[in-house]
Structures are given as structure tokens and as C-alpha cells.
């Protein structure tokens, strides 16, 4: 039975890379009715962001993924399991106590020097570090890249496994992840490429603890379109931020799972259920995928159009102008549904329904004053204010004067909406109502 885990560290807001790792681990397990474990790796207390735990859990469940088991490493640490394992490794000679100050460590779990000065000092307490053997080849088969990867042990640092007393004797990632993967009977580990340097250390820990290592696969790095690895500096990749920008979950999900995985056919549209059903680890791609926002916009537009008008009204509400009348949003929805790529595009397409536009008169084209004043007269005389009547009346006016249809409607559009890009203008005028339309024409003619 396949058992996978998503093991985020709550050090910040979840981003696309987290969602991708989680979705792949979930699909790998669920494709064959296996188990999916959510494990919070919170033993790095310096970088711990308490609210991140809930946000990560919400991300997993909001995207529809249900975990079968849930663990928190800091809680497990209270039972002393990691400490016991580390001490056992010291007893067996695979690890040693180190009394260098934490300042000397480059960063969490990694040593500064290849061979630690404390390794043969036989201290009886301190942080516990792994004694990396000399002249060994450390190899595993990466199931994502589908190839063997080998390190020379002489290039691997004596990494920290258990922190010293002043750091609460908490395990580092290297010890906690390996022990947990074993105890939780994880069969397949999937994680980001940046964790590759940890893998030889983990392989030794598994070996020294007498455990069979799970299958391990590293996921490709998502590249930004300007080149280089996608990062906060290169635009928003946080899931929360993307949702704030008006991207739907369905679109974010569909876009993300195709960053590094592809089905056998060229199919592009996947819900979570479709993805689980179709998932095949052979579909992992070896080249780094590129975060292409246009593609994300395309998915978003697609999923927006799959919504019913009622669903879309609800989704649009937070993006509509402040205090916007919901029934007005309702009336406008069918006009913008095919036009917006993001929910946040709504105000730029339909803000004029809710507030008086600022009209830049330099946008008007030929004969605007004549056209608008005559339009005002015929529209004022109109009794039945609906799209068909409005259209027929204006067409008659255009024909009578021999105006260019496109020019006339552009001038009307600018006068009523303040913009050159709006939903169809006669539909818009019909929804806006007679009073407001006439008022706006009068304002423009002043
Ligand atoms: N805790 C690591 C992270 O936050 C996960 C590494 C792993 O999956 O082994 O990315």
C-alpha cells in the first residue's frame, strides 16, 4: 500500500511549490487507494510562524485534499523519540556530541566544517551530529528523475541531528523527517529540489537506524518567466495572494499540477478527482517548468465561464466596488463572464455601473458633440427602456445622419462609461437605466 506525506514547515505562507508537492503526494497515494499523511515539521523554532499551521491546513483542505493522518513534530518531540534515536546513534558510534556554539553552524542542521572538530572529543553532552564516514559512495534511485544519484561521502558535512539543551534538544529536519518517515511507514517521499543536499544525510540516518529508506523523488524547480527560480521577489506565488488577485482555486490547482507533470495525452483540464484518477508518476517531467501567468489567466477564464451566474455573483462580490448593490452585480454578470480573466478584472469592466465615471474628453472621436446631443434627444423620448428599443432607436439615428456606426457607439461608450473597453454598450445602457444614462450624456455635453 502506498503511503505518502506532505511535510511542510510552518515558516511562512504556502505558495505554489507547496501546493504542487502536496497535490503530487496526494495523487500518488490516492490513485491506488493509499494513505496521505499531513505532517507539520515545526522543529525549527526560530523560523516558526504560528499562524502558518492553520493556513497550511486550510490550503490542503480548501483544495479538496483530505489527510488520513495528521502529526505535529514538536508534539512528537515531547515524547523523547528523536532524542532517544540520536542517543542510540551516539552509542553505536554513528554520531557524536558537539559543543561548538550554535553560531558556528551555517544554518539549521548543517555544519560549518566538513569534519566537525568535536567528532573525536568523546563529549558526553551537547548537540548530536552525524559522523559521516570517509570514502563511501551514497546512492539512491530518484523516482521523479528516474535515475541513480550518487554522492561521495567525503563531500558531505557532519550535520546536526539533535540540537543542544538551550535549543530544547529538538531534532533537526534530518533526524525528524527520517525517523517519522519510517515510523509513519511512508513508502514514497516527494519534495522540492532544494532538499537534494539533505538526501545523502538522510540515507545514512536511515541506514544507521536500521531502516529501509522509502522511495525518494525530488521535484523540479519552478522557473520564473524572466529566468531563474521562482521566488517572492519575482512576483506573487503565495496561494493567498493569488486568490486575492482574483484567481479561482480550480484554476490555481489545474495550473499548478501541470508545472512538472503531464498526462500521456495532451489533456489540459483537470479537477482534483481527474488528476487522482489519471496520475502516473511516469508523467513527472525532468525539465524545469516555467510559471507562465498567461497560462494561469487562461485556466482562470475557463473556470470562470464554468460557473453558474449565481456562483459567479458570489465570487465577484468581494471584488466589486464597495457597497455595490448585489442585484446590480447580478444583472451585469452575463455581460462580463466571457470577458474577464480574473475576478479582480470586474471593476475595470463594470465599475461604471456603480459609480459616475470620470470622462477624459480627449478620447472622443469625430462629431461627438453632435452625436451625443442627438442621442440625448431620442433616448429621452424613449418610453420602453430595453436593449432592443435602445438599439433600434440609435440605429435609426445613425442611419438618418449617415454616421459611422463604430464611431457613434465609441463616443456613446466613452460618455456613459468613461472607458473604451466595456461590455456591449447597448446592453450596458439598458442595465444602467434611463435616468443615469441621460445624466451622463448631459454631463459630457456641458
Ligand atoms: N519540511 C520541509 C519543507 O518545509 C519538507 C521536506 C520534506 O518533505 O522532506 O519543505
What is the tens place of the pLDDT at every residue in 19-58?
999 999 999 999 999 999 999 999 998 899 999 999 999 9
* Index of the ligand 1 atom closest to the CA of residue 191: 8
Kindly report the protein residue whose alpha carbon is nearest to atom 2 of ligand 1. Answer: 8
Enumerate the known binding-site residues for ATP.
Answer: 232
Distance CA 127, CA 100 (A): 8
Given this model, what pLDDT does residue 330 score?
96
CATH of 81-167 given 1.10.3720.10, 3.40.50.2300, 3.30.70.330, 3.90.800.10 = 3.90.800.10
Query: Is 0.85 surpassed by the pTM of this model?
Result: yes
Please list, in sequence order, all residues whose beta carbon lies within 8 angstroms of the beta carbon of residue 54, skipping any fewer than 6 positions away.
none
Given this model, what pLDDT does residue 114 score?
87
3-71+180-219 domain in CATH 1.20.1740.10? no
Sign of CA dihedral 306, 310, 316, 318: negative
Instruction: Pull the grid cell for residue 194.
Output: 532544494
Distance CA 177, CA 156 (A): 18
Kindly report the protein residue whose alpha carbon is nearest to atom 10 of ligand 1. Answer: 8
**Cα(97) to centroid(ligand 1), Å:** 25
**Using 50, 70 and 90 to split pLDDT, how confident is the model at 230?**
confident
Enumerate the known binding-site residues for Zn(2+).
Answer: 98, 100, 118, 120
Distance CA 286, CA 298 (A): 24
Span 356-361, mean pLDDT? 95
Domain ranges of the chain: 3-71+180-219, 81-167, 239-349, 361-445
Sole residue written with cell 541513480: 148
What whole-number percentage of the chain has pLDDT above 90? Answer: 89
The CATH number of 361-445 is 1.10.10.350
**Cα(191) to centroid(ligand 1), Å:** 6
* Index of the ligand 1 atom closest to the CA of residue 8: 4
Helix (H) or strand (E) holding 160: strand 160-162
**Cα(39) to centroid(ligand 1), Å:** 9
* Index of the ligand 1 atom closest to the CA of residue 5: 8
Distance CA 118, CA 2 (A): 41
Q: Residue 287 has what DSSP assignment?
A: S
181 Cβ inside 6 Å of ligand 1:
no
Given this model, what pLDDT does residue 166 score?
85
Topology of the domain covering 239-349:
1.10.1160
Given this model, what pLDDT does residue 366 score?
87
For the stretch 166-209, pLDDT in tens is 889 999 999 999 999 999 999 999 999 999 999 999 999 999 99
71 Cβ inside 6 Å of ligand 1:
no
Ligand 1 pocket test, candidate residues 3, 107, 192, most atoms within 8 A of CB:
192
**Using 50, 70 and 90 to split pLDDT, how confident is the model at 226?**
confident
Name the more confident of 315 and 232: 315
**Residue 235: pLDDT above 90?**
no
**Using 50, 70 and 90 to split pLDDT, how confident is the model at 100?**
confident
Distance CA 181, CA 197 (A): 18
191 Cβ inside 6 Å of ligand 1:
yes
Enumerate the known binding-site residues.
Answer: 98, 100, 118, 120, 232
Amino acid at each position: 500500500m502506498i503511503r505518502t506525506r506532505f511535510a511542510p514547515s510552518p515558516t511562512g505562507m504556502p505558495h505554489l511549490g507547496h501546493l504542487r508537492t502536496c497535490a503530487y503526494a496526494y495523487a500518488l497515494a490516492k490513485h491506488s487507494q493509499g494513505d496521505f499523511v499531513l505532517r507539520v515539521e515545526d522543529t525549527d523554532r526560530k523560523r516558526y510562524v504560528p499562524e502558518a499551521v492553520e493556513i497550511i491546513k486550510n490550503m490542503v483542505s480548501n483544495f479538496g485534499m483530505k489527510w488520513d493522518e495528521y502529526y505535529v513534530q514538536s508534539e512528537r518531540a515531547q515524547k523523547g523519540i528523536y532524542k532517544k534515536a540520536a542517543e542510540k546513534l551516539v552509542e553505536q558510534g554513528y554520531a557524536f556530541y558537539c559543543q561548538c556554539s550554535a553560531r558556528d553552524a551555517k544554518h539549521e542542521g548543517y555544519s560549518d566544517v566538513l569534519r566537525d572538530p568535536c567528532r573525536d572529543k568523546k563529549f558526553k553532552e551537547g548537540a548530536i551530529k552525524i559522523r559521516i564516514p570517509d570514502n563511501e559512495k551514497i546512492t539512491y534511485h530518484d523516482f521523479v528523475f528516474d535515475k541513480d544519484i550518487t554522492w561521495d561521502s567525503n563531500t558531505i558535512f557532519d550535520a546536526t541531528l539533535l540540537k543542544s539543551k538551550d535549543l530544547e534538544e529538538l531534532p533537526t529536519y534530518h533526524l525528524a523527517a527520517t525517523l517519522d518517515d519510517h515510523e509513519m511507514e511512508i513508502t514514497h517521499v516527494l519534495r522540492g529540489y532544494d532538499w537534494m543536499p539533505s538526501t545523502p544525510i538522510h540515507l545514512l540516518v536511515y541506514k544507521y537506524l536500521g531502516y529501509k529508506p522509502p522511495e525518494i523523488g525530488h521535484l523540479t524547480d519552478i522557473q520564473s518567466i524572466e529566468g531563474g527560480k521562482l521566488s517572492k521577489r519575482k512576483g506573487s506565488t503565495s496561494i493567498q495572494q493569488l486568490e486575492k488577485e482574483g484567481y479561482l482555486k480550480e484554476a490555481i490547482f489545474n495550473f499548478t499540477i501541470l508545472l512538472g507533470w503531464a498526462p500521456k495525452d495532451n489533456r489540459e483540464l483537470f479537477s482534483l478527482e481527474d488528476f487522482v484518477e489519471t496520475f502516473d508518476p511516469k508523467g513527472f517531467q525532468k525539465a524545469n517548468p516555467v510559471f507562465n501567468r498567461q497560462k494561469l489567466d487562461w485556466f482562470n477564464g475557463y473556470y470562470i465561464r464554468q460557473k453558474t451566474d449565481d456562483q459567479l455573483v458570489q465570487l465577484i462580490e468581494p471584488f466589486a466596488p464597495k457597497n455595490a448593490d448585489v442585484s446590480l452585480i447580478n444583472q451585469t454578470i452575463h455581460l462580463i463572464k466571457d470577458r474577464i480573466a480574473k475576478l479582480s478584472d470586474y471593476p475595470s469592466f463594470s465599475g461604471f455601473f456603480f459609480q459616475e465615471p470620470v470622462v477624459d474628453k480627449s478620447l472622443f472621436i469625430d462629431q461627438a458633440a453632435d452625436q451625443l446631443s442627438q442621442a440625448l434627444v431620442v433616448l429621452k423620448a424613449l418610453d420602453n427602456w430595453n436593449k432592443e428599443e435602445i438599439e433600434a432607436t440609435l440605429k435609426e439615428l445613425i442611419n438618418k445622419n449617415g454616421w459611422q456606426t463604430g464611431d457613434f457607439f465609441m463616443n456613446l461608450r466613452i460618455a456613459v462609461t468613461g472607458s473604451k473597453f466595456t461590455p456591449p454598450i447597448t446592453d450596458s445602457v439598458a442595465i444602467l437605466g434611463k435616468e443615469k444614462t441621460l445624466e451622463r450624456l448631459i454631463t459630457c455635453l456641458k
